[in-house]
Structure 1
Amino acid sequence: MIFENNTAYQTYRVFVAIFGTLGMVVATSPMKKNYKRNLLFLGGYAIYAIICTFFFMHVWGFLSFLRSVIITISLPGVITIYMTTETSVSRHIFKCLSQLLLSLYLLISVTLLNTLFQGTLLSNAILLLSGYLFAIALEFFVLRRTFLDINRINTRGWSILSLIPIAFFLFVMTLALYPVHYTQNPAFPLLFYLAGAVIAIIYYAVFQYLQTQYQYQTDEQSREILEMQIKGIKKHVEDTKQNAEEVKLIWQDTHKMLSAITVLAKEGNTKSILDLVSKSSALNRLTTPTHYCSDPILNATLTAYLAQAKNAGIAIEHHLAIPEILPVDPAELSICFANALENATKACAELPENERKIIIRCIYKPAFMFEIANPYKGQITFGRNGLPASNQSGHGTGTRSIMAFCEKHDAFYNFSAAGGWFKLMITL
């Protein structure tokens, strides 16, 4: 029972399918922060889809409308959702078409189930609405984290992967609407669910592959964190050892000086005592270790990378107010700082020595925020996700790592270039 002659109900079905599919996509997508803009785009699309559905069903008829729905409804929806999400084109197509495919299976399954039990228009409406609400809740509370993790995977295979849901979506649509509507084709349910089983197996294999990629990148990040921790520990041990040796030398020199002072005091030679004390190198030998913050790992990172910049002839200006208790894991924050400072150092190395400068600022009230700025030469272009684009091989890895850090901790990040200065600002 498809109630094809009931235009009002068919409009309701399209309404539920559109908002249900939108809800499924939004439940598993990293949306842009401009919520008013997002609502404007999505709401405008929903109004467009309802009007088009009502109009084209009157003009073309129900079956002809369904056969044109890919062009009239689905494609504009994919484009609209893309304008509200933070993702690449190929990843968006893969995820959005996958959700459309799932929505199509849900929509057809409800119709087949209602037809099988000879349900009414009301039962079909309740089943349809309940099915979409359940799907949205399931994806938001159970699958959202998996989808967001997959979205952060840096792999070049998304263009090929996106062809999978495109092919299956077109196949199922053709199977459902040609040569007749699926409710008039006795062989359709068998073919429909056999194709569904094949789709499920292929998607299982794809998600296993993506999960392996995600695990590999997570292990790489863990390795970087461990290396950063080891560097911090080594730096702390070296500083402690150096200070111990210096204290030992100072004690030896102090002992000699006190012996000499004792002899001069017995002789009553006050002037010689004062000269001896003022010329003593023991009092000035102990050096003060560089201290940027109390956390040993972050302090060691800042010390190492700022020293590297200074050795490259780069002037350093820092204003750092870093709390004792950091808002995130110190090693992960250290990797973020390291990537940002390494990028700034590379950019400054391309400039004349008198123009090389890095400014680093950090505050922790009202929120933990830091900014790293450096001059640059040439042109900087930014991609849709706000990241600076790079055409050079091997470049951009550090920037993607910074973005992954921000996405993991739900931090605000902003890359900007103005007045000859490139700036990175991160707020946790």
Structure 2
Amino acid sequence: MMDYIRVIFSLIFAISVMYMLLDCEIRHKKNRYLLGLYATAVLICDGFVLLNFGYSHFMRLYPLIVHLPVFLAFVFISKFKPIKVFFVLWTLVALTTSFSLVGLIISYFFGSSMEIVNIVVYILYLPTGFMIYKHIRPSFLYMMRNTDKGWLGFSMIPISYSVLIYSIGTYDLDKVVTIFNVETAVLLFILVFSAYFLILRFFKQTREQLTLQNEQNLLMTQVAAAQLHFEALEESQEKTMLYRHDMRHHLNMINSYLVDNNKEAAQNYITEVERSIECAVVEKYCSNYTVNLILSSYITNAKNELITVETQINLPENNEVSDMDLCVIFANAIENAINACKNIPNPKDRALKIVCKTKNNKSFIQITNSYEDKVEFVDDMPVSTEENHGLGTKSIAAVAQKYGGVYAFTAQDGLFQTCIIL
């Protein structure tokens, strides 16, 4: 009976940690029902094997009747590629079997009691789960989201260890107790601990390098946004200076029309001057001066590309998010939207909508544009095969992460949407 309880607790722990490390989220009810039916079917099959063939045969078939169904379930609900799910699964297999090794090593000094093995294993679950969530999960998730290479090589370590453990029968502790060798157990534990220490250290260093690279990319984008800001400001000032320079000539012309009693010509000329004034003034989209300059510049570019632009922007002058970071978001998102719309042959189908709302020091930004070409996603991030493309979305993601916010990119029914909450 204790064997069954230990197996159940081990499975619950492993599935919980996998769910945590893979950052799973089952949003749709249909998927929940399907997953529930799948889990029920697997449990019935496992129960049938256990009741009809016994515990020993059940443990011998454990990789096939437990590991494989769990792997398939997480491939279905996870956002990550199967190879990453594969690595996490075998990492948890290595971890849970290591608990058994620790229990066997400790029980060796107390007469190799299975009760002591079980107690040690149960005690290890809670602190290990907390340590994984607090210290390991951040680096783990960062690597999963930002690195696509090397996962098969990483997987070889837990697979080799698990195959070795399986071959000596550690899945079936009742069998292992009769052939247990404490020196071998200690050596195996040191081996797997050292391997994962190096893997996690590599993850941490890679995360630091990628973070530094993202910060450099973000800085470059901020510099570009600042340059655009000053160019827009300079252009507006030049138009204003030119208008002031021509003001005397305009007044003389209007005065000439009035002297000749040609009121209609004077009125037409005044209307023309008003239009020139409107062109010299930067259109106001929000109260934030710096962001407004960026918006004005990009929206003008969009209109020049015959894109229908709709704006609903409520952004106060003072905001928790720095002006430069807001400029990074708007500049990259709108530029990507313009590039996508330009590929649509019919100008009537080109559309861009910019929404920004602020409440309780939280900013919600949503930029929606029409598109025609297929959009490829890798780990929920849009990717491009063109050189130096795709950096804009990464810069947006970096800003969101900087403020502990959330971001999402979706493409559906001909509309691409960028959403950020800061």
TM interval, short-chain normalised? 0.7 to 0.9
How far 1:153 moved relative to its partner? Answer: 1.4
Distance verdict in 2 for CA 1:208–1:300, change over 3 Å: farther
**1:314 aligned partner:** 306
Asked if 2 retains the 8 angstrom alpha-carbon contact of 1:114 and 1:123, the reply is yes
Partner of 1:5: none
Specify the alignment match of 2:141 in structure 1.
148
1:323 maps to which of 307, 315, 318: 315
Distance 1:320 1:55, change over 3 A: same
Q: Which residue among 4, 11, 17 is the counterpart of 1:24?
A: 17
Contact between 2:22 and 2:78, CA under 8 Å: does it hold in 1? yes
125-134 or 395-404, which deviates more: 395-404
Structure 1 gaps of 5+ residues are 1-7
State the AA in 1 paired with 2:355. Answer: C
Q: Distance in 1 between matches of 2:218 and 2:290?
A: 10
1:288 and 1:376 map into 2 onto residues whose CA distance is 34
Asked whether the 8 Å contact 1:11–1:50 carries over to 2, the reply is: no
Q: Is the 8 A contact 1:253 1:282 kept in 2?
A: no
User: Is residue 2:210 matched to residue 1:217?
Assistant: yes
1:341 maps onto 2:316 in alignment: no
Which amino acid is the alignment partner of residue 369 of structure 2?
Answer: A
Distance 2:325 2:147 in 1: 18
Residue 75 (structure 1) aligned with residue 68 (structure 2): yes
Q: CA separation of 1:148/1:370 partners in 2, compared to 1, >3 Å: closer, same or farther? A: same
Deviates more, 1:399-408 or 1:130-139: 399-408
Q: For 1:110-169, what per-residue CA distance to the aligned partner results, in whole angstroms no more than 9, with x for missing partners?
A: 244235324766555443322212221222233222222222213333233333322322
- Bigger mean CA deviation after superposition, 271-280 or 226-235: 271-280
CA displacement 1:76-110 (0-9 Å, x = unmatched) = 11222332322221222122221221111113322
Contact 1:41 1:80 in 2 (8 A): no
- Asked if the contact 1:371–1:426 (Cα under 8 Å) also holds between the matched residues in 2, the reply is yes
Q: Calculate percent identity across the aligned residue pairs.
A: 19
How far apart, in 2, do the equivalents of 1:232 and 1:401 lie? 12
Distance 1:218 1:111, change over 3 A: same
TM-score, normalised relative to structure 1: 0.76
Q: Which residue of 1 aligns with 2:96?
A: 103
- Verify the 8 A CA contact 2:353 2:369 in the aligned structure 1: yes
State the distance in 1 between where 2:125 and 2:132 align.
11
Q: Could you tell me which residue of structure 1 aligns to residue 178 of structure 2? A: 184
Equivalent position SS for 2:282: coil
Counterpart-to-counterpart distance in 2, 1:41 and 1:134: 32
Q: How far apart are the structure 1 equivalents of 2:250 and 2:337?
A: 48
**In 2 relative to 1, CA 360–81 (structure 1 residues): closer, same or farther, beyond 3 Å?**
same
**Structure 1 position 130 matched with structure 2 position 106:** no
1:181 Cα offset (Å): 3.4
Deviations 1:229-280 (A, max 9, x none): 323433443444455555555555567889x89xx9xxxx984799899768
Worse-superposed segment, 147-156 or 404-413:
404-413
**Within-5 A mapping of 1:262-301:** 271=259, 284=276, 287-295=280-288, 298-301=291-294
> Does the aligned pair in 1 maintain the 2:367–2:418 contact within 8 Å?
yes
Structure-2 change in CA distance of 1:94 and 1:41 (3 Å): farther
Tell me which moved more, 230-239 or 240-249.
240-249
Cα shift at 1:14? 0.9
Pair 141,73 (structure 1): closer, same or farther in 2 beyond 3 Å: same
After TM superposition, the structure 1 = structure 2 runs for residues 194-209 of structure 1, keeping only pairs within 5 Å, are 194-209=187-202
Q: Distance in 1 between matches of 2:86 and 2:325?
A: 31
Question: What root-mean-square deviation, in Å, do the aligned CA atoms of Structure 1 and Structure 2 show?
Answer: 4.2
Rounded to whole Å, the distance in 1 between the matches of 2:372 and 2:107 is: 65
Structure 2 Cα separation of the partners of residues 209 and 91 of structure 1: 16
